[in-house]
Every structure is written in structure tokens, then in C-alpha cells.
């Protein structure tokens, strides 16, 4: 094991205090023992609600000031801002520096309270001389006070391999580094200041950073700290998405002790949970309150130092030379001491007490007239700002350093929007006003096309989305924005608008599908799979109304997908909607040229002065999806099936976006004739059809497969019926599976794919399927498979985002890993964790894989789709199931019907209706097992005592009017050959009686039955 002896010798030779050497030895021992410094998510819990400083109900006691010392950390040079002196000597307002305002705060407080409140600085070797000279010149009375300064220690950098002291012959000063502000405690001991303060009667210390002018001695908080008798108290703020990359407060599970977890203490696999601001809600402001007598007890207990968690940073010995010796720098954080104090507490303070200056952006904002200095010498937001600080974002390359014009302009109003250098990248701000009804549903915002084409309708929603995405912490200037859609009417025009608005909102790179075409699962694939890493997509706009009709008089839609490839979660869509209700303006680059999206290639547009550029890359629509699917399935086995003379298939893309994907896979990859792909040319109105893959709307395919719209066999004369048929919807995420004169329900399809998962390499190579999920209205067929094969099973609301959470349980949330994973909805959506959307062509390839596995011997008769389904029913029983859609009904009546059933759930529970007894009537509520979010009003359920079910939902995906969906399910373990209508007739009668839809909506005849 590496020895501390050479490190100790080097520190002693430098004159470092014994307390600092002991503290560093503790940190070193942690390093060499194999401690990574990581705090796993599994070892902590979120902090419960904290006391708010604004709700404290105590009488402030000025007597406590006699026992209190204020200490400012003043060791930073501000090297990140190009400084070679104390950052606190930067001018903030007029001629006042940070230290000016701090000194004035102290003197004003002394005058107001009539007490000589003790004031101290912890300087570093680098800041001491300039700081003391400053006080001697401007505040001599403070300079002359006993014990004004104590000096921060320094520690050796260590060789990254041997952990011996690093060397730097070119500049020996590079061999040392600051030990972090956790050195506060060692410095207090080594300087003798802790003992001196205690002997002088001081009991309380308030510590904060010198660049945080909002952190002043608050008498009310001091009194609260004293009366609670806590040994240590941390001031915290509520985390927002902008704070998600910073440290947070937590509770250690082993002893319920408050601890601090910094970003360097978080493993990659826990990053999702670390950044979840709804889970870990509080961050450390570095404003600390310390009982000095309790600090002394802990230091004595550990032999002269306080043991703090290690923070390990990998660097080079010469920070300006990446090829120099690799080193580790060991630091500690002073806030981490919270875990050393039994009974430590925390308090939530307003953001006004946390206003540090870390970048030139912060400094310029503080110097501007957006902030005023009040009578207590505390910066306050100018009332003219309306409670919201302006956002300043300087070019980090040009204005990173203070001397690069930052603050050189004085008493001037700047308007840079007309600078000629911006040219086509010049953003315009257009006034607008809220438009009602822009709340996204489960799959985005859908309205009539002409509504979207109306003035500012699309622009308002896109701006609201950009504002919400940026507020969530996403930096849209990094990575790529994907844009594409299903090719419906207005698709190409909308893409040009989004590009121009994206540039005005800071996006630097776009990936656009050729001709504007990208399927919904294709977009998810591109987000997750396309590189290089530095161009990885941060999100996407998908222009689709899915299975809804297209055209100038039909439907259009838009949805946003996040960096995991999945739909925006409820929190983000709620923020988008909230923004639409208050929007006053949107940003757009009006002079940016329209991009030719018909040809693959890069288009780079540069500002006139060459200072910045934007790249719009038109990409191959299908390439990434085909590449991924070839890693999931055994294309060789599927081709062997397709090449059998007794096997034929047809794939109907219904003139939606999946036509190019079908050709790329079945013709180009699997060598089939183009006749396999029907209706494969995308059209902006889906050729006048309704691109919804069900028995009612996929008329051409259903007839080809020898069925009618109810799934009954029809006489096809002498026509040869294909062995296998499949259809896709407009945006390619749904599927319908058919055999020769045989319809496979989506619920049965999901169950069978789960049962056969091991024939698909993606699942088998990962040790087999682990988890399955279905939407609540989907039949329980997959439940039986999950129980038999011991899969984790979930019942979720309708909406693929709920499945996405389960897929990302470990990667983003630090929870259990449920992948490999299969999920599906009764609305013809099936998929797996290869993407974060349902995937129509994936389901088709899964079925072909199942058929291939049952037909390995070409000499034997073909095992058909019907054979596989009947075999499944024989083993597991049959869930007779159907869905009735009542489309285009009046929303008022539909809502009234749902409200009536919701109000009667208690009364209906236990009620006998026909031959059924309602065991439970409820309104389905889902508590997400991954992030704890709650989704209410997800459907009215009538659960019968024999296991039958009736479910009612209002669809959130209709472009106009309302769609009432009624789901009927009856399980039969043995009687598997009844006609569906006969098996469900009694239950349908009961359902119509319970909902009274004829009275509320004027009909009890469905428009679609599936």
C-alpha cells in the first residue's frame, strides 16, 4: 500500500500545520484503501421537507451577536475568469468591489445592532497580500482588528499511478493545489483561531463565500439556529432543472444522517437519480452555521482534524499542459461536514441568499441596472424587472475573461440585435398572445391542419416547447435537434419554421429526415444511436398525428421527444402548456433561407462576420433504423422463411411514412420482390385514406387476407391469400398482424411475442426477457405469460412514456433494471427497449422471427400464424377481447358520461348487473414505481368477480371532437373457439347499460370495432 510518509515530509518541509497534515492523511488513507469517494444511490434517501426560513416564527435576539463570528471564504483567484488576484477585488457596482460591499455590510450591521460583530476572512497564500492591502487602504479599522485573517492550507498533487507527491520541474508551484473549502476546519485549528474564538466567548460561526453578496448575517436565522441547539445547520435552496448537475443534500440510510453528495461522488449509473430534482430537492448554498464548541468536540475526538468525505479529481500536474504528468487532486467540501455532526439540520432559504458570481455572465448582470444596492448594501433585483432577472449569455470563447470587454461599457444602453455580423442568423422577436387549447395530449398536440396553419399557432407552441426544454436544463446549443414527420400535409412548411425558430433559440445543429420523413420509432432510434458523440441529439420535434387522417381539412400534430428518445414526460409537457398560456413573444430568424430537404447532405450557414455558424444536415430516412434492427433480429433466419415457396407476405404502409422503411428492409435487405410492399409511397393525405392499421380502415389489406371488417372470413373465390399480412399507421409506430383469414388481436400479439422472446437474438443474448408491461385497457393475456415465465409485470396508463420510465429505471433513475423489456397497447402498439417508442416494423419482424423459429424444416408443412395463436390459447387460455370506438362525439356529452361513471364508482362496487357482479369499480390511478409520479383519471374500470373487465376511456389523440373507447374482456381458460361477438355479447350489453352512452352521446353504435 502506498505510504503517506513522503507526503507528510513534503508538507512539513513547506511548513504546513499539523492539523492540515492530519486532515490530508485521512483523505489519503481513504484514497489508498480503494474508496472511490462515490456515494451510491442505493445507500441514500431523499431529504424530507425542510423548515423554510420564511416561515420561522421566532423573536430575533440581538444578544446572540455577542457570541457570533462572520467568516468569508476569500481564497479564490477567479482564474476561470482570467484573474490573477482575489476575485473579491473585482468591481461589482460603480467603484465598489465584493470586499467593499462585504465591509459595508458588516459596518452597517454593527451600527444597526450596536454590537461589534466579529468579522474574519479565510484567505489563501494567493489572495492574502492583495486583500490585506485593500483593507489597510480603505477600511483600516477592520484591518487592525485582531484575528481578521487566517490562511487556507495547500496540499500536494499526487501521481495518479503511485500516489506519491507529483513533481513539476518547470514550475514547482504546480506541485501544490488547494485542498478545497473543507480546509476551513483544519485552518481554524492550525491557525489557533478556533481555540482563541472559544476562549473569547464566541459560540456561533456563519460561513459563506465572498462572491455571494446575498449571504449576510440574518438575525432571524441565527436565532432559529441557536434555539434549535443544532450543532451544524446548512442553508439550502430548492433545486431547479438548472441546478441538476450540482450537489444535493440526502439522508444516509444506515444511520439517517444528513449528508452532502457532490457530482464527483456520483457514479455514472446513478446520474439519472442524481439529476432528478423532484427526488433530491435541495442543494447546498455553502452558507453554513456552526456551533464552535461542537466543532471543537469533534476535532478533539478524531485527534486534531475532522474526517470529511474525499473528492477525487483527475488532472495533469501542469494545468496548461495536457501531456504533463497525470495526477489526482484530493479535496474536501466544507458542507460535507454535515455528516460529522449528529443532530445536524438544514433550512430552506430564498434564492436571494444565493447569488454567487462564477462567470462573466453573472458579473455583467450584477453590474447592470437590473440590480440595485439597497441600504444594507445587499444587491436586490430592480423592481422594473418584474421579479425576473434578465438572462445574459455571453460568447464563452470571446467573453470568458474579465478583461475581454466585460464591464468596460458604462452608462450606456446596448442593443446588439442590429449588428450586421449576424446576417441570416439574426433573430427577430415577434409579439404574440396566448392561444387557447394548446395542451399536449398523451402523444403531443393534435388539431385540424388549418388550425396549425393559422397565425402564430405553430410558432407559439414551438416557442413554448423551446422555453420549457431550456428551463429543464437542456443546453440546446450543444448536440443536435432532430426534425421529421410522417409526411402529412403542412409537414415540410412546419419543418422550415421550426428550423428558423430553433436557430433563434440557440440550436447550432439539426438533423432533418430526407423529404422531411422520419417515422416516430425512427426518430427515437436516431436520438439514441446516431453519432458521433459530440453531435448526439438532445431532442426532437416529430410532426405527426399518428393514425389520424391527413390533408388540408384533416389533422396535424407535433410532439417533442427527449434525449432518451422517448416522449416528453408529464412534467415537461405541463411546462410547455403553461408557457402557451402566458406567451408574449417568440423568436425566429426571418432571413434564414429555406433548406432543400429533398437531398441528403450538409448545409452550413455562417454569420456575415464568420463568428458563428449553423449546420442543417439532411439525413437518410431509414439508415439508422435498418442498422439497429439488423442487430436485433436474425435476418438470415427471416430470409429463409420468406424464401420458402409456400410462404407469401404483404406489408401495407397505407401511404404513411413506413413505406421507405419497408422497402429498405424487405426489398433491399431481405431480397423480396417490391410487390411485398403495398401502398409504400408516402402521401400527404395518405391517398385519401385513414392510415390506422385496424380491420375497419386497412380495408385493402384485410380483404387481401380474406377477412371483413369484423374479422370474419370472406369468400375470395380462387384468389391466393398470403401467409402473412401486416399494416402500419401514418407515423409507423403501430402494427396489425394477420394470418391467412386470421386476425391477431394486439393483446394476443403482445403476449405471444413475450412468450417467444428467446427466438429473437436481442433478448436471448442478454439472458432472456426480464420485464413486460401493458397499458391498462390492454387485455390480461400477457399477464398469464409473465406469471408462467416469471417476468416482472406492469399495468400502466395509456401512453408510451410510462413504458419508457420502466425501461430507464436503472439508467436514469438508479432503480431496478427491468430490461430486456417488451411492452404493448391494445391500440396496435408494440415494442421493446431498443427504442423509447412503439415500433410497428419491429413487431412485424418479431412475428416473422416467431414464424421462422417454427418453420426451420422447409420439408415440413408451414406452421401458420393461426397455428401459433391457437397453440398459445391452448396453453394459456383465451382472453376474448374487443374495443369499440365512438369517434367524433361531442366532448361535453362524453365528459359528462365519464363524470357520471366516476361519481358512481363507490355505488357500483358490489352491484349485480346481469350475470356479473362488479367486484370493483374505480377510476384507474397509476403510481409510477420508478419516479413516484402519480397519473390520475386514466380510465373508468368495472372489474367483475369472474375476472371479466369493462373499461371506458376518452382518447387524447383525436384532432377534433372526442373519441370514447369501450373495452370488453372475458377470460376463458378452456373454451377457446367461440366467436368473439358471442363470447362478449352479455358483457357488451352490461357495458352499454353502465355508461348510458346513447343518452349522453346520441349513439351506441361504434364507428370502429377492433
* Burial of 69 per CB tally in 10 Å (0-12, 13-18, 19+): buried
SS3 at position 386? coil
- Report phi then psi at 471, rounded to 5: -65, -25
d(CA 741, CA 867): 12
- Report phi then psi at 585, rounded to 5: -160, 160
By DSSP bridging, strand 311-316 and strand 949-954 are unpaired
Considering only the C-alpha atoms of the chain, give the largest distance between any 2 of them, rounded to a whole number of Å. 109
Which strand (E) or helix (H) includes residue 981? helix 980-995
By residue count, the chain amounts to: 1010
Question: In this structure, is the dihedral angle defined by the CA atoms of residues 322, 326, 330 and 335, taken in order, positive or negative?
Answer: positive
Alpha helices in 790-922 (DSSP H): 800-807, 840-854, 865-876, 891-903, 905-908
Alpha helices in 191-291 (DSSP H): 193-199, 219-228, 271-274
d(CA 487, CA 483): 12
How far, CA to CA in Å, does 121 sit from each of 100, 143, 209?
A: 13, 11, 10
Question: In this structure, is the dihedral angle defined by the CA atoms of residues 86, 88, 94 and 95, taken in order, positive or negative?
Answer: negative
| Distance, CA of 756 to chain centre | 33
- For residue 205, the cross-strand partners are 69, 290
Closest to 965 in 3D by CA, of 893, 887, 900: 887
SS3 at position 159? strand
Residue with cell 373487465: 949
Residue with cell 427466438: 759
Query: Do the beta carbons of residue 840 and residue 735 sit within 8 Å?
Result: yes
Catalytic annotation, residues: 546
d(CA 473, CA 571): 13
Other beta carbons less than 10 A from residue 380's beta carbon: 12
How far, CA to CA in Å, does 762 sit from each of 148, 565, 630, 802, 822?
A: 67, 19, 10, 22, 11
Amino acid at each position: 500500500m502506498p505510504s503517506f510518509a513522503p507526503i507528510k515530509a513534503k508538507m512539513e518541509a513547506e511548513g504546513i500545520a499539523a492539523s492540515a497534515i492530519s486532515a490530508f492523511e485521512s483523505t489519503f488513507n481513504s484514497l489508498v484503501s480503494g474508496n472511490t469517494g462515490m456515494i451510491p444511490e442505493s445507500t441514500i434517501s431523499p431529504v424530507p421537507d425542510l423548515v423554510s426560513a420564511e416561515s420561522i416564527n421566532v423573536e430575533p435576539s440581538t444578544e446572540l451577536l455577542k457570541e457570533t463570528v462572520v467568516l468569508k471564504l476569500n481564497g479564490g483567484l477567479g482564474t476561470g475568469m482570467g484573474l490573477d488576484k482575489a476575485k473579491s477585488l473585482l468591481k461589482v457596482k460603480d467603484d465598489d468591489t465584493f470586499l467593499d460591499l462585504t465591509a459595508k455590510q458588516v459596518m452597517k450591521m454593527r451600527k444597526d445592532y450596536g454590537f461589534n460583530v466579529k468579522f474574519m476572512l479565510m484567505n489563501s497564500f494567493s489572495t492574502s497580500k492583495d486583500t490585506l492591502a485593500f483593507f489597510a487602504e480603505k477600511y483600516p479599522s477592520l484591518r487592525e482588528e485582531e484575528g481578521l485573517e487566517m490562511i487556507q492550507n495547500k496540499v500536494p498533487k499526487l501521481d495518479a499511478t503511485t500516489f506519491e507527491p507529483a513533481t513539476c520541474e518547470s514550475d514547482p508551484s504546480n506541485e501544490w493545489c488547494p485542498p478545497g473549502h473543507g480546509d476551513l476546519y483544519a485552518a481554524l485549528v492550525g491557525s489557533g483561531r478556533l481555540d482563541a474564538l472559544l476562549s473569547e466567548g464566541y459560540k456561533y460561526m456563519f460561513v459563506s463565500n465572498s462572491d455571494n453578496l446575498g449571504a449576510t448575517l440574518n438575525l432571524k436565522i441565527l436565532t432559529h439556529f441557536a434555539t434549535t441547539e443544532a450543532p451544524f445547520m446548512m442553508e439550502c435552496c430548492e433545486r431547479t432543472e438548472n441546478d441538476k448537475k450540482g450537489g444535493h443534500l440526502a439522508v444516509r440510510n444506515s444511520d439517517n444522517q444528513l449528508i452532502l453528495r457532490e457530482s464527483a461522488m456520483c457514479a455514472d449509473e446513478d446520474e439519472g437519480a442524481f439529476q432528478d430534482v423532484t427526488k433530491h430537492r435541495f442543494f447546498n448554498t455553502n452558507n453554513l452555521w456552526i456551533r464552535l464548541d461542537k466543532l471543537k468536540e469533534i476535532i478533539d475526538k478524531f485527534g486534531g482534524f475532522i474526517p470529511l468525505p474525499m473528492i477525487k479529481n483527475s488532472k495533469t500536474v501542469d494545468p496548461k499542459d495536457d501531456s504533463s504528468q497525470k495526477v489526482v487532486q484530493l479535496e474536501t467540501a466544507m458542507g460535507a461536514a454535515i455528516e460529522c455532526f449528529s443532530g445536524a439540520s438544514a433550512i430552506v432559504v430564498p434564492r436571494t441568499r444565493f447569488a454567487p458570481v462564477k462567470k462573466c455572465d453573472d458579473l455583467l448582470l450584477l453590474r447592470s441596472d437590473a440590480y440595485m444596492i439597497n441600504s444594507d448594501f445587499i444587491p436586490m433585483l430592480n423592481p422594473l424587472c418584474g421579479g425576473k432577472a434578465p438572462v445574459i449569455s455571453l460568447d464563452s470563447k470571446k467573453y470568458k475573461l474579465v478583461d475581454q470587454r466585460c464591464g468596460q461599457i458604462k452608462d450606456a444602453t446596448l442593443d446588439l440585435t442590429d449588428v450586421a455580423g449576424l446576417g441570416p442568423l439574426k433573430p427577430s422577436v415577434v409579439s404574440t398572445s396566448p392561444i387557447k387549447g394548446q395542451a399536449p395530449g398523451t402523444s403531443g398536440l393534435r388539431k385540424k391542419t388549418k388550425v396549425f396553419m393559422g397565425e402564430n399557432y405553430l410558432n407559439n407552441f414551438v416557442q413554448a416547447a423551446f422555453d420549457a426544454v431550456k428551463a429543464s436544463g437542456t443546453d440546446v446549443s450543444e448536440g443536435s435537434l432532430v426534425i421529421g414527420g410522417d409526411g402529412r400535409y403542412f409537414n415540410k412548411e412546419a419543418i422550415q419554421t421550426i428550423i428558423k425558430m430553433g436557430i433563434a433559440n440557440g440550436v447550432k445543429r439539426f438533423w432533418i429526415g430526407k423529404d422531411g420523413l422520419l417515422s416516430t420509432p425512427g426518430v427515437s432510434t436516431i436520438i439514441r444511436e446516431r453519432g458521433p458523440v459530440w453531435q448526439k441529439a438532445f431532442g426532437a420535434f416529430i410532426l405527426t398525428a399518428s393514425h389520424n387522417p391527413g390533408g388540408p381539412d384533416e389533422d396535424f400534430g407535433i410532439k417533442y421527444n427527449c434525449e432518451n428518445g422517448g416522449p416528453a414526460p408529464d412534467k415537461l409537457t405541463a411546462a410547455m402548456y403553461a408557457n402557451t398560456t402566458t406567451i408574449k413573444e417568440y423568436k425566429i430568424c426571418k432571413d434564414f433561407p429555406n433548406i432543400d430537404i429533398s437531398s441528403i447532405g450538409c448545409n452550413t450557414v455562417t454569420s456575415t462576420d464568420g463568428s458563428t455558424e449553423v449546420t442543417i444536415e439532411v439525413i437518410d430516412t431509414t439508415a439508422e433504423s435498418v442498422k439497429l434492427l439488423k442487430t436485433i433480429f436474425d435476418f438470415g433466419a427471416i430470409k429463409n422463411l420468406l424464401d420458402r415457396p409456400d410462404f407469401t407476405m404483404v406489408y401495407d404502409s397505407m401511404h404513411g411514412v413506413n413505406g421507405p422503411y419497408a422497402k429498405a428492409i424487405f426489398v433491399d435487405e431481405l431480397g423480396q420482390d417490391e410487390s411485398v410492399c403495398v401502398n409504400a409511397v408516402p402521401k400527404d393525405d395518405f391517398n385519401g385514406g385513414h392510415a390506422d392499421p385496424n380491420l375497419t380502415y386497412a380495408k385493402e389489406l384485410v380483404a387481401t387476407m380474406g377477412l371483413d371488417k369484423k374479422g370474419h372470413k370472406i369468400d375470395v373465390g380462387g384468389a391466393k391469400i398470403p401467409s402473412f399480412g401486416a399494416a402500419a399507421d401514418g407515423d409507423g409506430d403501430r402494427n396489425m398482424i394477420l394470418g391467412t383469414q386470421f386476425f391477431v388481436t394486439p393483446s394476443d400479439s403482445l403476449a405471444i411475442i413475450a412468450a417467444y422472446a428467446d427466438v429473437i437474438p436481442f433478448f436471448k443474448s442478454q439472458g432472456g426477457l426480464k420485464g413486460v408491461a401493458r397499458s391498462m385497457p390492454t387485455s390480461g393475456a400477457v399477464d398469464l405469460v409473465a406469471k408462467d415465465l416469471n417476468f416482472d409485470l406492469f399495468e400502466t396508463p395509456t401512453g408510451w412514456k410510462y413504458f419508457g420510465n420502466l425501461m430507464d429505471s436503472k439508467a436514469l433513475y438508479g432503480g431496478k433494471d427491468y430490461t430486456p423489456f417488451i411492452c404493448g397497447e391494445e391500440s396496435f402498439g408494440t415494442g421493446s427497449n431498443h427504442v423509447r417508442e412503439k415500433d410497428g416494423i419491429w413487431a412485424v419482424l418479431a412475428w416473422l422471427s416467431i414464424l421462422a423459429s417454427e418453420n426451420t424444416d422447409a420439408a415440413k408443412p408451414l406452421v401458420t400464424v393461426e397455428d401459433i395463436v391457437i397453440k398459445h390459447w391452448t396453453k394459456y387460455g383465451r382472453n376474448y377481447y374487443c374495443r369499440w370506438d365512438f369517434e367524433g362525439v361531442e366532448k361535453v356529452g362524453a365528459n359528462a358520461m365519464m363524470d357520471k361513471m366516476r361519481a358512481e364508482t363507490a355505488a357500483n362496487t358490489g352491484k349485480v348487473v346481469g350475470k356479473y357482479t362488479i367486484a370493483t369499480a374505480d377510476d384507474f390511478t397509476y403510481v409510477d414505481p420508478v419516479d413516484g409520479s402519480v397519473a390520475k383519471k386514466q380510465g373508468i374500470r368495472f372489474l367483475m368477480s369472474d375476472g371479466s373487465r369493462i373499461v371506458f376511456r376518452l382518447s387524447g389523440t383525436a384532432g377534433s371532437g372526442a373519441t370514447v373507447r369501450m373495452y370488453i374482456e372475458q377470460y376463458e381458460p378452456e373454451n377457446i373457439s367461440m366467436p368473439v361477438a358471442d363470447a362478449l355479447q352479455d358483457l357488451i350489453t352490461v357495458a352499454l347499460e353502465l355508461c348510458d352512452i346513447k343518452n349522453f352521446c346520441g349513439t351506441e353504435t361504434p364507428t370502429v370495432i377492433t
